[in-house]
Amino acid sequence: MSEKASFRTSGGVRGWFGRQPWYVRAVVILVFTVLAYLLPYAGDVPLIGPQIITEGVDWPSALFNMSYYVLLALGLNVVVGYAGLLDLGYVGFFAVGAYGTALLTSPDSVIYADTGWKWLMAVPAALVLTMIAGVILGWPTLRLRGDYLAIVTLGFAEIIRIVATSTTTLRGDRGFASIPHPPGSWNGEPIFGVTDAIPYFWLGLTVIILVILGVRNLDRSRVGRSWLAIREDEEAAEVMGVRTFKYKLWAFAIGAFIGGLGGVLFAGEQSFINSQTFVLQFSILVLAGVVMGGSGNMAGAILGGVLISYIPDRLRGLSFGDTDLYEYRFAIFGAAIILIMVLRPQGLIPSRRRAMELKDREKEVAPQ
């Protein structure tokens, strides 16, 4: 068999990568990691750079936007891709993380006089609050399945938005201003300021790497195997002794934690949040990214998170004749999703198991 045929039949790039010695894999991962940290300077690359950088929004700011979208996609992938729980209200956890940070650090907060915390001090408290929200949502609702669970999570996100809009404590559309940035200085100047988004992207990328390592270890542990059993057949998993409720609650809590991380980073970079930031459309967009990239696969979730952020930002400032393409961003994005789902229903980078499932189903429905 030729080398090219062997490459095709053994899983493509992933199959080749998995067969390499550990030191080769380490070098490849290190090279891609360094390239990721150098992305803010992609515009300086001749020919290629000007074609990929955004025009209507600062390129480092667009990269930071991608970083928290990727975090949200990774978190939702734990819930939807690994545990098989349809969550339409994931933006609620993103909001809890952001509002938790704002309440503890913003001068506009009613408890600021009692706390007056800096951003770094507020991060653990906001993440714990987000995980508690995940447990509170999951405990009474995870006995539901499928569409019923999706409706409950949808209601959770709407409750968060309505409470944020209606209560004086969360200040509605007025929001919270002067949320402190992450700490750090260089030559007497703050590292995380208002004019340069590159440090924020590097911070977001570092958090993404840590999340990938954590989720990867979970996926390969007893927890990951339990999630897989629940996703494939919850009743059979329960009969075989898997504590389905416990592990589904774990999935919700871990997904909430990762979503809260995105909210904490968002609040620290923007320095302002209000109730209009956390609309339902946000959850649908992240879910579309996970499905489009490849549900159940971290690489697919990362690609989906990048695309749902990059495509709208890339369309800013572009026009076709007299038509501003940004006004049609949702139509263009929707058409792209339809095209991908028709040509590659398992996603752009699917999990191997998911790809095999879809292939088996095609054989079952194929005319004899």
pLDDT digits (tens, 9 = 90+) for 232-253: 888 898 888 889 889 999 999 9
Q: How much is the pLDDT for 6?
A: 41
Q: Quick one: CA dihedral 170, 277, 39, 35, positive or negative?
A: positive
Q: Give 29-81 pLDDT, tens digit per residue.
A: 999 999 999 999 998 888 888 888 888 889 999 999 999 999 999 999 999 99
User: Which pairs from 57-62 meet CB under 8 Å and 24+ separation?
Assistant: 57/313, 57/316, 58/197, 60/196, 60/197, 60/198, 60/200, 60/201, 61/197, 62/309, 62/310, 62/313, 62/314
Q: Whole-model pTM above 0.75?
A: yes
- pLDDT at residue 21 tops 80: yes
Six token digits for residue 123: 């991060």
Q: How much is the pLDDT for 366?
A: 54
Residue with tokens 């994931």: 90
Element at 129 (helix H, strand E) = helix 119-141
How many angstroms separate the Cα of 204 from the Cα of each of 16, 63, 260? 29, 9, 13
| Residue 23 vs residue 177, higher pLDDT | 177
Q: What DSSP string runs through 314-325?
A: HHTT-EETTEEG
In three-state secondary structure terms, 190 is strand
Q: Give 302-347 pLDDT, tens digit per residue.
A: 999 999 999 888 888 788 777 888 888 888 888 888 898 888 888 8
Q: Give 110-152 pLDDT, tens digit per residue.
A: 887 667 788 999 999 999 999 999 998 888 888 888 788 889 8
Six token digits for residue 277: 């930031």
Find the mean pLDDT for residues 272-300.
Answer: 89
Q: How much is the pLDDT for 353?
A: 66
Q: Give 153-179 pLDDT, tens digit per residue.
A: 899 888 999 999 988 889 888 999 999
In three-state secondary structure terms, 244 is helix
Any idea which of 52-56, 182-186, 280-284, 364-368 has the lowest mean pLDDT? 364-368
**Rounded to an integer, what distance in angstroms lies between the CA atom of residue 137 and that of residue 368?**
47
Find the mean pLDDT for residues 349-367.
Answer: 62
